[in-house]
Amino acid sequence: MDLQTLTYIVVGATFALYIGIAIWAKAGSTNEFYVAGGGVHPVANGMATAADWMSAASFLSMAGLIAFMGYDGAVYLMGWTGGYVLLALCLAPYLRKFGKFTVPDFIGDRYYSQTARTVAVICAIFVCFTYVAGQMRGVGVVFSRFLEVDVTMGVIIGMVVVFFYAVLGGMKGITYTQVAQYVVLITAYLVPAVFISIMLTGNVLPQLGFGSDLLAEPGTSVLAKLDGLVTELGFNEYTDGSKSTVDVFFITAALMVGTAGLPHVIVRFFTVPKVSDARISAGWALVFIALLYTTAPAVASFARLNMIDTINGPAGQGTAYAERPQWIRNWEKTGLIGFSAADEAVSAKGPAGEQLAQDGVMFYSNDERNNMKIDRDIMVLANPEIAGLPNWVIALVAAGGIAAALSTSAGLLLVISTSISHDLLKRNLMPNITDRQELTYARIAAAVAICIAGYLGINPPGFVAQVVAFAFGLAASSFFPAIIMGIFSKRMNKEGAIAGMVVGITFTAGYILAYKGVFFEPLIANTPENWLFGISPEGIGTLGMLLNFIVAFTVSRVTAEAPTEVQDMVESIRFPKGSGAATHH
């Protein structure tokens, strides 16, 4: 069976499964729409959390980043994994005890202020849209290759599917869909990694395989071979970093604390019956996440090695364009991989509009010999094709990439819709609306959010993982300090929290826009010598967070203390009388 038919069957079957689950788990009340009725089993919730957490950035982009950046790409591994641990240990159980659906709800009640709630809603929407743009882009990349449509059409198809189960099922539909998506995405990630590890090193475990010797060259390990190859081609050594220690620290910290402030992951801990279940499901989620995260460096190394071999040929002299491997022909149609002919005279357009250069020789390097353009986001998807794995594996990886992007998109869109319907309308502007009206507004907000997310996916600011890194920076500089001080400082008052959030997110967003220029040209050249204290835009969220803490602490010291009942409430969150069902204040 040819690849496209097989892909349609596999992806179609997973879509039918997700939509079937959404219909089965249709939300009938706001409680089911927001927190799945609070009755999800901790192991199922752990799987759903892992799927929610491992987005297109984890599935598609992270290994792509590590493949191209080598050692420097490890900041994403360390930051995202460390952040999840921080969230599970320091925040989730306390927020669960507080018993609020959303982060703005917690901030509004803890800081006894509608202004604080509104600032938190704006931050939540800002962070989620930045993040969801990356997911929609990921969906577009997968569809464009495997359904042979352009990226724009791919994004539109993704929007329709997410719309169906996020708007219909709410958190209940999303939770059980995410359990299915986790199974699909982890199978799709591990199967090719195991195959390629056996082919290259004879080792079944990819985690050990990428440190083992190559079967073709006994005595030479995968990493040693890669180091030699990439330095010969003018790149930095694969196992050695080029980033400054300061920047590595700041990016890792921004990803870590940004994770801990991500509203769509925090809300998952409200879907289990008890506080103790929140801790158990956090532990399970970490196990499920570790399966993918420990495999990513191996996937990255194998993909980079095989890619260089297939483009530059076994002799390292390049490959004649007319004899280019099938995987390059397949990906060329999407425009995500390309070849610029040295001599324009021999260059012509083929039937699908692809570049033809019969006399040209393709070569991949980091110097004047290079004539390849390769999008980092394709590495995981192209990996099975580059290694020559069977078609069913390639189709499975396509389904996995889509599952990863859709599961996170749904979680983020739910946060946007609940922030608007619950926090802005019900708790602030329209307190008298009924449960049914609130549910209707939540669905309308989700529908509008999907349209905006689709637009951002079609016109994305940067490639997937970078866009996601900015979302983490914004979450780190706005939410994290307000949540941490809300739990651990009785003294923190509304004036401090509001001032801190406004300063933190304004500084971070301003810095990112100045160097990156999302919808306009950057104002300052994005080079290390121009960065403030040598901190890149990806790591600036850490500095924004520190500013938030300093401003919040200073302002709270020169304004009135928090009311006694709020201080008592904070005391009761920190010292649980029993870890039973959450109480609603």
pLDDT-derived band at 159 (thresholds 50, 70, 90) equals confident
**pLDDT per position as a tens digit, 107-128:** 888 888 888 888 888 877 777 7
349 pLDDT higher than 50: no
For domain 3-8+41-303+390-574, give its CATH number from 3.90.1300.10, 3.10.580.10, 1.10.10.10, 1.20.1730.10.
Answer: 1.20.1730.10
Cα–Cα distance for residue pair 109/487, rounded to 1 Å:
12
Cβ contact 270:38 at 8 Å: yes
3-state SS, residue 219? coil
Between CA 82 and CA 256 the distance in angstroms is 6
Give the Å distances, CA to CA, from 432 to 415, 425, 426.
22, 9, 7
pLDDT digits (tens, 9 = 90+) for 518-573: 556 667 777 777 788 878 888 888 999 999 999 999 998 988 888 888 888 888 87
Largest CA distance in the chain: 80
Cα gap 119→500, rounded to integer Å: 11
- Residue by residue, DSSP assigns 138-166 as HHHHHHHHHS---HHHHHHHHHHHHIIII
pLDDT of residue 548: 93
What's the predicted TM-score (pTM) here?
0.78
pLDDT of residue 35: 61
Of these ranges, 68-72, 122-126, 347-351, 504-508, the one predicted with the greatest mean pLDDT is 504-508
Every domain of the chain and the residues it spans = 3-8+41-303+390-574, 312-386
Q: Which residues, in sequence order, are CB contacts of 219 under 8 Å at separation 6+?
A: 213
Query: pLDDT at residue 393 above 50?
Result: yes
DSSP annotation string for 362-385 = E---SSTT--EEE-GGGHHHHHHH
Four-CA torsion 481, 484, 485, 488, nearest 10 degrees? -160
What mean pLDDT is reported for the chain? 79
Q: What is the pLDDT of residues 306-340, one digit of tens each?
A: 888 888 877 777 888 778 888 888 888 777 787 77
User: Does 581 score more than 60 pLDDT?
Assistant: no
Contact 284, 320 (CB under 8 A): no
